[in-house]
């Protein structure tokens, strides 16, 4: 998916996916550098999979994430924040801040929820009147926007693993494709026919196929290595706990024996053998 969506020759595929997701006709102006330079030694890279600018001068971040990251929500926030600061010129007024649309395609269960597509925007709601804050008339004229959420970043989270393969709309066709790597004959979503052609082309590319198989094998190797390390650590921890328990029981038995209690009673309450108690 990363290779297919990132390639400049496949803009029609990426435009199709974004158009169905955002329910508007998306045109991509340019593919931007997706790894920004660090300003200082301790600064973090803004490493995103795909960063494009659409015809409305908005920035769209697309991340394809395969593995669990507990701080992934923080990573999304950092990516949008970094993109905002990096794409405003020095000395430019705040009105020059670009609208950011962040799209995450997650192949793991991100967060906790029953749905497979989530959309997040910034809404200012009155705590007394319950009304939704809108822009002033002059702001609407200047910025051609109606609400503050059209200025603030918005977030789309697609949890591919939660999708049950039931097609209810054209966006579902895209999610089916993201999950299963195939395009059904009855699919009509924008960009889907182009995606199907590219998919066939990529599948017959022997070099890519072998590289992908090696990548999958490497994932299995890493998972197996981590699993074995965990098993060894669990065993060591179990042994340490067991040794600590035995040591504690021995100390109790030693005290009970010093107080003159019978060996049989000590054995009953500590679980130690009579031979071990007599040897104290």
User: Does 199 share its domain with 273?
Assistant: no
User: Does 27 share its domain with 152?
Assistant: yes
Task: Provide the pairing of β-strand 154-159 with 117-120.
Answer: antiparallel
Give 6's pLDDT tier (boundaries 50, 70, 90). Answer: low
Mean pLDDT across the stretch 165-177?
93
Residue 227's pLDDT is: 80
User: Does 30 share its domain with 145?
Assistant: yes
| pTM, two decimal places | 0.66
Tell me: pLDDT of 251 over 50.
yes
Mean confidence (pLDDT) of the chain: 84
User: Does 55 share its domain with 105?
Assistant: yes
Listed in sequence order, the residues at least 6 apart from 160 whose beta carbon sits closer than 8 Å to its beta carbon are 105, 106, 107, 116, 175, 178, 179
Residue 212 lies in a domain: no
Residue 56 lies in a domain: yes
User: Does 51 share its domain with 164?
Assistant: yes
Give the range of the structural domain holding residue 264, as residue numbers without chain letter: 217-278
Instruction: Give the whole-angstrom CA distance, residue 110 versus residue 115.
Output: 11
Choosing from 175, 204, 233, the residue where a domain stops is: 204
Residue 211 lies in a domain: no
**Alpha helix (H) residue ranges in 144-205:** 170-180, 192-203
Residues 189-248: tens digit of each pLDDT: 999 998 888 887 777 666 777 777 788 788 888 888 888 887 777 777 777 767 777 788
Q: Which pair of tokens denotes residue 59?
A: 């920035």
Domain count, the chain: 2
User: Does 225 share its domain with 164?
Assistant: no
């Amino acid at each position: 998916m990363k290779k297919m969506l990132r390639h400049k020759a496949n803009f029609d595929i990426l435009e199709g996916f974004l158009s169905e997701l955002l329910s508007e006709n998306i045109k991509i102006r340019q593919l931007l550098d997706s790894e920004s330079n660090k300003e200082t030694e301790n600064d973090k890279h803004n490493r995103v999979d795909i960063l494009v600018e659409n015809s409305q001068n908005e920035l769209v971040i697309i991340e394809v994430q395969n593995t669990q990251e507990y701080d992934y929500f923080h990573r999304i926030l950092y990516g949008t924040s970094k993109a905002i600061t990096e794409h405003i010129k020095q000395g430019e007024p705040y009105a020059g801040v670009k609208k950011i649309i962040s799209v995450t395609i997650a192949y793991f269960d991100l967060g906790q929820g029953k749905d497979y597509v989530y959309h997040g925007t910034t809404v200012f709601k009155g705590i007394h009147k319950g009304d939704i804050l809108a822009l002033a008339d002059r702001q609407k004229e200047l910025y051609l926007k109606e609400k503050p959420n059209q200025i603030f970043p918005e977030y789309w989270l697609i949890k591919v693993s939660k999708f049950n393969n039931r097609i209810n709309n054209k966006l579902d066709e895209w999610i089916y494709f993201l999950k299963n790597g195939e395009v059904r004959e009855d699919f009509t979503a924008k960009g889907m026919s182009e995606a199907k052609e590219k998919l066939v082309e990529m599948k017959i590319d022997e070099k890519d196929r072998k590289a992908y198989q090696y990548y999958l094998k490497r994932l299995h190797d890493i998972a197996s290595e981590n699993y074995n390390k965990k098993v060894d650590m669990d065993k060591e921890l179990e042994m340490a706990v067991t040794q600590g328990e035995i040591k504690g029981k021995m100390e109790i038995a030693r005290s009970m024996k010093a107080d003159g209690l019978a060996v049989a009673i000590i054995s009953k309450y500590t679980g130690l053998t009579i031979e071990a108690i007599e040897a104290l």
